[in-house]
Structure 1
Amino acid sequence: MDKINKHINSFVLAARHGNIPRPPVLSCVLAALLLTICYEFYLVNQQVRTMEGTLLERGSQQDGVDAASRRQSDLVTSPQNVMRTRKFPVLNPHPFTFTLNNPDKCKDQDVFLLIIVTSSPEGRAKRQAIRQTWGDETSVPGVVIRTVFAVGVSDDVGIQQVLKDESETFRDVVQENFADTPRSLTIKQVMVLKWASQFCPGARYVLKVESNTFVNIFSLVRYLRSLRGALTRKLVLGWVYNDSVPVRDPEGEDKEWYVSMDDFPRDTYPAYAGAFAHVMSSDMPKLLYEASLTTKYLFMDDIYLGLCLEKLGIAPRHHGGFCHWDVEVDSCHYKWLIASRFVDSPEKMKRFWSAITSTC
């Protein structure tokens, strides 16, 4: 376009000074000028097309970026990460507060294993037996272990005073202000997740265990020390139950586990690790606690935890060393086990401890 303007200006100047060429010459000049104009328009048109192509290419590239972003968004909103990116309605609020607590239990410690024992308020004898056996924080040399007992509130003033005294003496009792009943096990499970994530988030592993379960602490620590890589994250380890069926008969033999279709409309429960004992990696208590707030309440704590895991897209990992049946007190037989339920008396707990600390 600059060349066109130059030619036009030259012609105008010539006309102003009376130097207009004669007709034949003028025709040649006009023809040349016309050709120049056409050529300049051709160049401009090519530049426009080039620019359009570039813009289209950039648009295509941006579409690719957008598609990649969408794929990344799909990844972010996959079940594993959905709790962090999507708003769910609060279906199971946990408004309870700690009435007994030992918040400094893990302070300034590189805790390898946090043990949280769910206990009944009146279960002082069992708690004491655990403190003297596998719950002893010094039982495994060179490994930092912390043990706490999680309880709800008793309606017995005397038992409440015993709990307060225990908490002051041993610094290992934590209590929230909910009524401790068989139907509040899920509330206690959520309490465990809450306490672990708030007061001992640095623990590499968390063992949640019931007070009628015996733990071979040596076997457990040995196994956890052997884990590497991906197995140390997103881990919930225990005896895994698959395809369990809800009890639908409210008057049947198992009526205590009856669940209505309104409470759980599916035919089978999700996979879940037994409540008697399961281990979580350090990242899981917080993830599960957050998931619990948006997961409809179900009174069976282990199945409820399975529902939370399902929401997160994480499958529990099975380990046969978590024994869900009663076993004989035999040192050679028990050494390969990690945990065994139905150890209902402090005396039996101590016999098991003597068995695994002896030699075959």
Structure 2
Amino acid sequence: MFISFKSIRNLEYERGHSTDAPTANYIQVPGENSSVEKFSSCSRDASLIAFDKRKNPIFDGEYLLNNKSICCGPTPITAIVVVHTDPHHFGRRQNVRETYGSRELFLPTEIRVIFLLGRVKTLEMQNKVLRENSQYGDIIQGNFIDAYHNLTLKAVMGLHWVSNFCSKVKYVIKTDDDAIFDMWRFLKQFHAKNLYVSKTIYGISKSRDRILRSGKWGIDKTFFKGQKIYPFKFCIGFFLIYSSDVIPALYRESYVVPFLWLDDVYVTGMLRTAANGIEIVDRGGNLSIVPGSSTGFKCLQERGDECPYLAVGSNENIFHVMWELIMKRNHK
């Protein structure tokens, strides 16, 4: 089905990590001075202990920036929002902090947010990231170039981080930085009704999807050789809700499942299949998801509380207008 793990891994590393631009010199920045084992909410998943002496070939914990104590505290964390973001998207990250990623807005329910970045190419940009992190303490930066073909590295870094520093959280909400999410609706219609089911991924599922061999999402013919259809279901990576027990299970499989740069196919398809027993629930009804910003905006604007969308695509121009519509339908 695959070419050898070693050859594809080295190929993608060279493509994703090589650059003609000068690369900044970095200093490893430790997390906050607190024991990650002090409180159960930020303790490590015990199932990973057996993997301590093995090096994960995709991501094994080499952080440039790591805020280890985000989930530490005496109160259980209900959800952590894990945002895949481009280092240059300062405005988008701020939008998330002020809205569905806000710790204060949803109290007494405890919400946390982290932003996943890779390595940048210039010292000037790194200093901007450092200043942002100094102010907010929510940046998780891995030691790999932040590039489209390295999205799987970023995704596996997220699995590693949650498994090691936030394993007792109830839900893990993975988003891209161009999404907007109705956290109130999620908490009222999902969490409050105790719809939690273990070993479950909620998202937009793709079944019998065609394998593209060219274009933006095209993969080499040596992957899934001779096949035209993916032999498993997977989810579009735009927006996902994981039951927390899924995260370490997926990370464990990344030790052995060959690398593929399409992160949604790799994580929710290949790793999920290898882990066995993890179900995909395609979201519908009052918890549906739509990536399109125009569709979501029109629905929120015209239907308000009757709009079924839990998460929609957005852009910086209409983000706050859409958030006002979300607040309006939740605070009549």
Q: How far apart, CA to CA, are the structure 1 residues paired with 2:304 and 2:150?
A: 32
| 1:339 equivalent in alignment to 2:311 | yes
2:162 pairs, out of 186, 193, 196, with: 196
SS in 2 for 1:338: strand
**In structure 1, what is the equivalent of residue 271 of structure 2?**
308
- Name stretches of at least 5 consecutive residues in structure 1 with no aligned partner: 1-82
Q: CA deviation at 1:227?
A: 5.5
> Are positions 1:267 and 2:243 aligned together?
no
Q: Measured at CA, do residues 161 and 262 of structure 1 come closer, stay the same or move farther in structure 2, by a change above 3 Å?
A: same
Matches within 5 A, 1:145-224: 145-224=111-190
**Counterpart code for 1:116:** V
Q: TM-score, length-normalised on structure 2? A: 0.75
Question: Residue by residue, what CA displacement relative to the aligned partner does 1:25-70 show, whole Å, maximum 9, x if unpaired?
Answer: xxxxxxxxxxxxxxxxxxxxxxxxxxxxxxxxxxxxxxxxxxxxxx
| 160 and 233 in structure 1: CA distance in 2 versus 1, 3 angstrom threshold | same
Query: Structure 1, residues 2-32: CA drift from partner, whole Å, max 9, x if none?
Result: xxxxxxxxxxxxxxxxxxxxxxxxxxxxxxx
What secondary structure sits across from 2:259 in the alignment? coil
Residue type of the alignment partner of 2:58: P
Q: Tell me how far apart the structure 1 counterparts of residues 84 and 315 of structure 2 sit (CA, whole Å).
A: 14
Counterparts of 1:1-360 in structure 2, within 5 Å, are 92-95=57-60, 97-108=62-73, 109-226=75-192, 228=194, 231-248=196-213, 250=214, 255-265=215-225, 266-269=227-230, 270-305=232-267, 306-313=269-276, 314-320=278-284, 321-326=288-293, 327-329=295-297, 330-331=300-301, 333=303, 335=305, 336-341=308-313, 343-345=314-316, 347-359=317-329
Query: Alpha-carbon deviation of 1:280?
Result: 0.8
Distance 1:91 1:258, change over 3 A: farther
TM (norm. structure 1) is 0.69
Q: Is the 8 A contact 2:211 2:218 kept in 1?
A: yes
Identity of aligned residues (%): 22
Q: Distance in 2 between matches of 1:333 and 1:196?
A: 36
| CA deviation vs aligned residue, 1:208-252 (integer Å, no higher than 9, x gap) | 1100111111112223315547x421011111111111112x3xx
Structure in which a larger fraction of residues adopt helix = 1
Cα shift at 1:84: 12
Structure 1 residue 261: Cα displacement: 2.3
The corresponding residue for 2:3 is none
**What is the CA distance between 1:348 and its match in structure 2?**
1.6
In structure 1, the residue matched to 2:30 is none
Aligned residues: 267
